[in-house]
Amino acid sequence: MTHHLAPGVWGVVATPFAGPSLDVDEASLARLVRHYADIGTSGLTVLGVFGEAARLDAAERRRVLDTVVAAVDLPLVVGVTALSTAPAIEEAEQIRAALGDRLAALMVQVNSPRPEVVTEHLGAVHKATGAPIVVQDYPVSSGVRITTPDLVTVVRELPSAAAVKAEAPPTPAAVAALTGALDVPVFGGLGGLGLLDELAAGAAGAMTGFSCPEGLLACVEAYRVGGYEAARAAYAPYLPLVNFEAQAGIGLAVRKEAIRRRGLIEASGVRPPAPTMPAALGPQLDRHLAATPGALASGEEVR
C-alpha cells in the first residue's frame, strides 16, 4: 500500500540542547537534519525516545517540528510519547497541526500485552488524525511486553499500518516472524546493534539513532545489492562505534557527544533523568570517530 514507509534508513533524530540551560537549539537541529538529507536517508523519525520527546514541553515539540519541516524535504515520522489513548491523540493532533501533509506517519507504542487493547488504541490515534501508524514495540521504554504472534494480530488488523519498529530483544527471530507473516515493512532499531541480522531476517531497513547514519546506509544499501556478505563488509567498520554507543544507560549521552564531535550539533547536553557521559570516555570516543569511515571530515580535528 502506498502509506507503507519506503525501505532504507530512517534517521531517528536527536534533539540538540544549547548551553547549560539546555534550551532546544534550532540551528543545530536544522544542521543535523540537513546532514541526514544530504547522505540519502529515506526519511526522518522525530520526537522519538532518542529525541527525548518526553523531556520537551509542547512548545518545544512544536519548535522541533517546525525546524525540521523548514530544513528538509524528507518524509517525516513523528513519535507519540503517551501510552494511553487520550494524551496520545492530543499529541497526535498537535503533530498533525504542525506538519499537515508533511506527516508520513505517527509512531505509536504498543501499550498492552492484549492485542485487542493495542488495536483499539492504534485505531483511535489513526482515526483522530488520518495518519498512517508506525507500530513501535519497545519494552524497555514502554514497560509493555507483547508476544510476536499477538503483535502480528495487531498489525494485521490495522489497515493504516505504515511499518513496525521491532525493538523487543532478541530481535532477529522476532523480525523473521513478523516479516514472514506481514506485508508491512519491519524496521530494526536499538542503535543498529543487530542490523545485519535484522536485514537477514527480512527487515526493510533501520530506523534508529546512531551518530554515523552513513554506516546504516552503507549496510542497508550493500545488503540490497549484494546480500549479507556485502552488508557485513560494509557495516563491520562501524560496529565498534555502534557498540560503544550502545552502553547501558549512558548511550544517549555518548551518542549526542559523538554527533557533536562530528560537527553536526553545537552541544551535547542531555536532559535529566538521562545520565551524562563519564569524562573518562572522551579520549576513546575520539579514537572511535577518527577510525570510523567518514565520521570526521578529511583532515579535520575532533572538536
Contact flag: residue 182 with its own copies (CB under 8 A): no
Spatial distance between the Cα atoms of 74 and 229, rounded to a whole number of angstroms: 30
Contact flag: residue 14 with its own copies (CB under 8 A): no
Out of 83, 181, 267, 302, point to the residue binding its own copies (CB under 8 A).
Answer: 83
Out of 32, 76, 161, 250, point to the residue binding its own copies (CB under 8 A).
Answer: 250
Out of 194, 205, 215, 269, point to the residue binding its own copies (CB under 8 A).
Answer: 194
Q: Which is nearer to its own copies, 34 or 232 (CB)?
A: 232
Contact flag: residue 144 with its own copies (CB under 8 A): yes
SS (H, E, C) the chain: CCCCCCCEEEEECCCCEECCCCEECHHHHHHHHHHHHHHCCCEEEECCCCCCHHHCCHHHHHHHHHHHHHHCCCCEEEECCCCCHHHHHHHHHHHHHHHHHHEEEEEEECCCCCHHHHHHHHHHHHHHHCCCEEEEECHHHHCCCCCHHHHHHHHHCCCCEEEEEECCCCHHHHHHHHHHHCCCCEEECHHHCCHHHHHHCCCCEEEECCCCHHHHHHHHHHHHHHHHHHHHHHHHHHHHHHHHHCCCCCHHHHHHHHHHHCCCCCCCCCCCCCCCCCHHHHHHHHHHHHHCCCCCCCCCCCC
* Total of residues contacting its own copies (CB under 8 A): 62
Query: Smallest distance, Å, CB 246 to its own copies?
Result: 8
Contact flag: residue 291 with its own copies (CB under 8 A): yes
Query: Smallest distance, Å, CB 122 to its own copies?
Result: 11
Binding residues among 92-111 for its own copies as defined by CB under 8 A: 111
Contact flag: residue 121 with its own copies (CB under 8 A): yes
Out of 247, 263, 294, 302, point to the residue binding its own copies (CB under 8 A).
Answer: 247
Out of 272, 299, 301, 303, point to the residue binding its own copies (CB under 8 A).
Answer: 272
Contacting positions for its own copies (CB under 8 A) = 22, 52, 54-60, 82-87, 89-90, 111-112, 117, 121, 142-144, 169-170, 172-173, 176-177, 193-194, 196-197, 200-201, 228-229, 232, 235-237, 239-240, 243-244, 247-250, 271-273, 275, 278, 280-281, 283-284, 287, 290-291
